[in-house]
Every structure is written in structure tokens, then in C-alpha cells.
Structure 1
Amino acid sequence: MPAIVHFEVQFKPEHVTDAAKYLAETLAATRAWPGNQGIEALVDDADPCHILVVETWATTQDHDDYAAWRATPEGRSALHEVLAAQPSKQVYSTTLPLGL
């Protein structure tokens, strides 16, 4: 099963109008990373500063390799400069059989 990653960010209000620009610049490297199968950014209807980035990865290891690169000086982006809080991340790679 592919790994689905939810990456939640909260932009500072003064930067929300530039959110698409910041995310496009940052996520270009994400899209290009081996194993990335898709990515989209969803804006919270109740709070436009709250954005959920949904990433699909071929494997959890592909995402783990990408995340390790992001923790290096070469992989660091400027996104942290415009966020109001630390981002949160959840990785989903196991499903429950629902018998539907």
C-alpha cells in the first residue's frame, strides 16, 4: 500500500496571501523526489491560514528518505519563516479491512 502523508501548516496571517507561492516553491522538490506519486494542498474553509498538504508516496521508506533530506541544510526550505507554528505530520500506510 502507498503511504499517505498529512502535513499540516499554519501560516502567519500576514503571509497567507503568499501561501501558494511558498508552498509551490517548497513542494517542487517534494514532487520531484523519487517515490512521490502526488501532492495537493487543501485550505481549511474556516481558517485560510490552516493548510493540509496531502502527499502520496510509493512506500513509507520513500517518504522517510525524503524527510531525512529535508532535515539537512541542503533540504531545508524557507517555509518555516512564514509559519505561525510548527507543522504537524501524520503518516498512514496501513488500512483496516472494513468488509464493505
Structure 2
Amino acid sequence: MTALAHLDLRLDPTVLDTVPTVLNEVLAATRAWPGIEGLEVINDDANPSHVVVELWTTTTDHDAYAAWRTTPDAASHLGDALNAQPVKTVIVERIALVF
């Protein structure tokens, strides 16, 4: 079942001009990872330093990617652009609605 991984990033407002370059570098590897179905970087209208959403085929695919991101091979400069720890929420279950 498709898993929505919401990664809540709080970027350092003083480095916002460098964020597109850093995100393009980091997310190129994300887009190439097996099981990624989609990736969208979105900004909070009220706070441009608040961003990201990923869509994965399964939670297992996302977990493998997240584990890889903790290795030296997956090191990036994204942490340099953050002013808080990322908060990840993975959602699989959906509420069936009838309209």
C-alpha cells in the first residue's frame, strides 16, 4: 500500500537562497531510490522556511531509504540548512469517505 512520508523541514531563514541548490542535490538521490513514487517540495505560505512531501510504494521502501540516509555514503549538506531537527510522519492507512 502506498505510503505518504511527510518530512517537515525547518530551514534556516538566513540560508534560504542556497536551499534550492542543496535540495536539488539531495533529492536527486531520493528520486533515484527504488520505491519512490513521487516527490514534491512545498512551502508554507506563511513561512517559506517550512517545507517537503514524499510518496513511496511501501513503508518498507521508505524505511530502506531512510536507513541509507544515515550512512556516510548518503551524507549531504541539508543539515547545514536546517535550524531544527526534521520531523518525519509516515502515513499508510486512509479513512474511507463516502461523498
Shorter-normalised TM range: over 0.9
Extract unaligned runs of 5+ from structure 1: none
| Matched residues, number | 99
Q: CA RMSD in A?
A: 1.0
Displacement of 1:98 after TM fit? Answer: 2.0
- Per mean C-alpha deviation after superposition, the further-off stretch among 11-20 and 37-46 is 11-20
Alignment of 1:1-100 (within 5 A): 1-51=1-51, 53-100=52-99
Gap regions ≥5 residues in structure 2? none
Q: Distance in 2 between matches of 1:75 and 1:93?
A: 25
The one-letter amino acid paired with 1:4 is L
What amino acid does structure 1 have at the position aligned with 2:24? Answer: A
SS in 2 for 1:64: helix
Q: TM-score, length-normalised on structure 2?
A: 0.94
TM-score (norm 1): 0.93
Q: What are the superposed Cα offsets for residues 52-79 of structure 1, whole Å, 9 maximum, x if unpaired?
A: x111111110000000100111112210
Q: Percent identity?
A: 47
